[in-house]
């Protein structure tokens, strides 16, 4: 439904006054304006989860070798280099035939 000029009471029933900007009848005065505030559930550790791409791979932790001769340092293991071959090596090269057709 559409609210008329007396919207503040309905708005305050839905949004707590401390979370509502002063310009809309609330009590919030964020530095730089509430629109630029980073407040929200995404900042709350209870609801925040790191994105999947940011999670450290557990396997990488295991791929650490110690070649420092007792100096207490570890060096990450190098990734294996893929070898040529497999399906790409089995695909024959395509042969093209010139049919004597020239562009006009």
Convert the pLDDT of each residue in 53-87 to its tens digit: 886 655 555 555 555 666 666 656 666 666 666 55
Q: Identify the CA nearest to 29 among candidates 45, 41, 40, 17.
A: 17
Q: Identify the CA nearest to 15 among candidates 80, 2, 7, 101.
A: 7
Any domain includes 75 = no
Query: What confidence score (pLDDT) does residue 33 get?
Result: 74
Any domain includes 89 = no
Q: What is the average per-residue pLDDT within 96-101?
A: 72
Q: What is the pTM of this model?
A: 0.32
Range of the domain at 31: 7-43
Burial of 17 (0-12, 13-18, 19+ CB in 10 A): middle
Query: Is 101 or 74 the better-scoring residue by pLDDT?
Result: 101
Query: What confidence score (pLDDT) does residue 67 get?
Result: 59
Any domain includes 23 = yes
Domain count, the chain: 1
What are the start-end ranges of the E strands in the chain? Answer: 64-65, 75-76
Task: Please name every residue paired with 65 in a beta bridge, in sequence order, or none if there are none.
Answer: 75
Mean of pLDDT over the chain = 72
């Amino acid at each position: 439904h559409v609210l008329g000029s007396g919207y503040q009471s309905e708005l305050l029933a839905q949004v707590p006054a401390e979370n509502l900007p002063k310009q809309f009848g609330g009590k919030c005065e964020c530095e730089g304006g509430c629109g630029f505030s980073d407040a929200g559930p995404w900042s709350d550790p209870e609801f925040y989860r790191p994105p999947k791409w940011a999670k450290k791979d557990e396997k990488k932790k295991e791929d650490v070798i110690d070649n420092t001769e007792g100096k207490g340092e570890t060096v990450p293991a190098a990734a294996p280099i893929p070898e040529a071959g497999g399906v790409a090596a089995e695909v024959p090269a395509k042969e093209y035939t010139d049919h004597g057709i020239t562009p006009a």
